[in-house]
Chain A
Amino acid sequence: MIWVNAVLQGVLLGGLYALFACGLSLMFGVMKVINLAHGDLAVVAAYTALGVVAVTHLPAVWSFVLVVPIFAALGYVVQRTLIQAALNRSVLTTLLVTFGLSVVIENSLLQFLSANSHSLNIGSLVSDSFSIGSQITIAYLDLAIFVIAVAVLLGLQHFLSATKHGRLIRAVADDREAAQLAGADYRHIFGIAAAIAFATVAFAGLAFGMYSSFDPTIGTDQLLLFAFEAVVIGGLGSLWGTLVGGIMLGVVQQVGAQVSSTDQILAGQLFFLLVLVIRPQGITSRRRTA
């Protein structure tokens, strides 16, 4: 029963990882940019929520109403300026620039907000839980985060498959030049994709801030790597792959933690490397011949 509980906790945690991963996956899928500042952006979102709560006295849970739109706008601006400028050079330049952005964000947070850890106060919700049997306990918060993650993925899925701009994003991802010939300004479409990616990372950052405590360095130490691992394990190409990847990573981590509490992260990393060796294209990916 302990193991069932570990797997169940892992599945719930996997939802959070998928939420982190979908923005990374979207930006890589559309612009071929791996945003190395992805984890730090989540941390910034959590800090922004702290600020919003301090100023507006809204409950932390409602901070997303402000934070998510702010991040969407930020995503569009960062893409159209910094990342596009790097893209005009080369894909390698985007790596250097987003890595620089990551370091600058992390050190700025350390400089201005100290290395102390914080968490988003959500009152009793953080500890409330229900039990199934004697050994399975599920926190309402974990369940809520999982449900939100799936809802966000569903929404993203719907947006990409059924709206005009979603279609354009997929078209630009397929063939940038052909999209230009259809009248689409790919830079604008990139901006929209980045806005969505930043919005999802804001969601993820807020959820993480409620789920656990955070400090300026956790973005690079853990979040970026977890998000990337979820993407690779699941396989690029579908949001459901990302969810599967997130869940598998979460389960492996929780089972690893059950074996030895210090090996949670190591278990996840090793599993990722194993997947990379055995199936570099990911678990769910089917190579399409175009």
Chain B
Amino acid sequence: MNAVGQHVPRAVSVTGGAAVRVTRSRRSALWPGIAVVAIVVILGYLPYVVHSGTTTLLVQFFTLLTMASMWNLLAGYAGLVSVGQQAFIGLGSYFVLIGALHGLDPFTALPVAAIGCGVVGLPVWWLVSRLRSGYFAITTWVIASVCELIIIRYPSLGGGTGMLLSGFPDISQTLLNAYIYWTSLAVTVIVLAGVYLLLRSPLGLVLTALRDDETGARSVGAKVARAQRLVFIVAAAGCGAAGALLIISQPFVEPTAAFSVQWSAEMIFVTIIGGIGTIEGPILGTIVFFILQQTLSQDGTWYFIILGLVAMAVAIWAPRGLWGLIAERTGIRLFPVGYWLWPAGSTAGPRGLALLRGRGRGPGRSGAAGALALDDPGRAGPDDPRSGPGDAGPDDFPV
């Protein structure tokens, strides 16, 4: 009892040795897995049965879901609140354009653009990695603005007025739309699978610990910095892919729109409302976004104002978001990345489990119920949370 109450050195030692079973999820992961595959297959078949208007909408859906999943990985797991991901969205679009101007087929240019954004992400990370919270946020924003201002300088890329993307394969518009749709579906599946596998990897444990207690996890060591760098680069590439999808589906790009902070607003709102720090959250949030947008689309920006207000309220009063509320009541996890501990001989993991579930709910943005895998960082952090190592200024405000 005391051992659980004070310290959990290793997941397995909680009940004192071998007499414990560790699983990835409370129920079998088989059925959700089959469901996910079925959904992907059905979605893949859609262009044969629905109008192109529907698939066009779904392309937007997948694009936003990709962005939101990337931002969720950044902010929800790595603790990096970026409001400058539009830098990579814009660059992803323009990389496709540059490729097309050099004779590259847009669909082939998409992965190139994503990788290109990942490469650009490296020096950007070097620049922003020393900054914490607010400094980090605004600096990413400045970098997005710099990217935009640099692109505008190139008339060959359309300057400030933008440019039409050409170089698509010579096929019918219907088939082209289907290709665009399948591409966006593929990008989304790859991104979600990538996030899922990343979080299940050893690095995922570091990220989950970071999500649950940043100060505590920091003290674990340099692994955190490596994990954050990887996440930043993955998110840069993912947002680049989303940007590539944008220009391919438009097919037009214009710097003000491509580098607009609106993209950050969308991915942030969607993630917060759906549930930050869970894979399911952005999916749910994107669905909410599109329902609201489609219902209120004739009323100008109202849907966005409402979305912003809801996101603010959720961030303050229900920081686990919609998915958090659902998972808390049902225990369902579509993408189990944590561990459940089952005391030996019991099928209904009773007291110990309840205790562990309780620990998952920190004051911050703890994830869905029950995932506890690492050492509990507990009160390991320094007393003064303001003394972040990279804080670019002294804490006081003397005169």
Contact = CB atoms under 8 A, between A and B. Distances in A.
Please determine if A and B sit in direct contact within the complex, based on CB atoms under 8 angstroms apart: yes
Interface residues of B, number: 54
Contacts of A121: none
Contacts of A103: 265, 269, 304, 308
Interface in B130-160: 130-131, 133-135, 137-139, 141-143, 145-146, 149-150, 152-153
From DSSP, what is the main secondary structure of chain B's interface residues?
helix
A29 interface: yes
B382 to A, nearest CB: 14
Contacts of A48: none
A221 B317 CA distance: 29
Contacts of A34: 133-135, 137-138
B17 interface: no
Contact of B305 (A108, A224, A225, A232): A108
A3 B133 CA distance: 38
B83 A288 contact: no
B397 A26 contact: yes
A179 interface: no
Interface in A67-93: 82, 85-86, 89-93
A227 B94 CA distance: 29
Interface stretch (A57-65, A134-142, A261-269): A261-269
A33 B394 CA distance: 14
A220 B146 contact: no
Given A92-B75, A95-B133, A173 B305 contact: no
Given A36-B83, A89-B319, A169-B397, A107 B304 contact: yes
Interface string B32-54: 00000000000000000000000
Contacts of B146: 266, 269-270, 273
B272 interface: yes
B311 to A, nearest CB: 5
Interface in B354-399: 363-365, 385-386, 392-399
A225 B138 contact: yes
A28 B392 CA distance: 12
A7 B247 CA distance: 41
Contacts of A237: 393-394, 396-398
A91 B272 CA distance: 15
B309 interface: yes
Interface in A236-284: 236-239, 262-263, 265-266, 269-270, 272-273, 276-277, 280-282
B306 to A, nearest CB: 9
A107 B184 CA distance: 28
B90 to A, nearest CB: 14
B265 A99 contact: yes
A232 B153 contact: no
Interface string B252-263: 000000000100
A170 B396 contact: yes
Interface in B204-243: none
B193 interface: no
Interface in A3-48: 25-26, 28-30, 32-34, 36
A92 B137 CA distance: 10
A95 B308 contact: no
A281 B393 contact: yes
A155 to B, nearest CB: 12
B131 A280 contact: yes
B397 A91 contact: no
A52 interface: no
A104 interface: yes
A262 B385 CA distance: 42
Contacts of A215: none
Given A34-B137, A95-B81, A237-B397, A100 B301 contact: no
A104 B308 contact: yes
Given A82-B312, A89-B319, A225-B138, A173 B301 contact: no
A-B residue pairs, 6 tightest by C-beta: A29-B397, A34-B134, A236-B393, A100-B312, A104-B308, A266-B149
Interface of B: 75, 79, 81, 83, 127, 130-131, 133-135, 137-139, 141-143, 145-146, 149-150, 152-153, 261, 264-265, 268-269, 272, 300-302, 304-305, 308-309, 311-312, 315-317, 319, 363-365, 385-386, 392-399
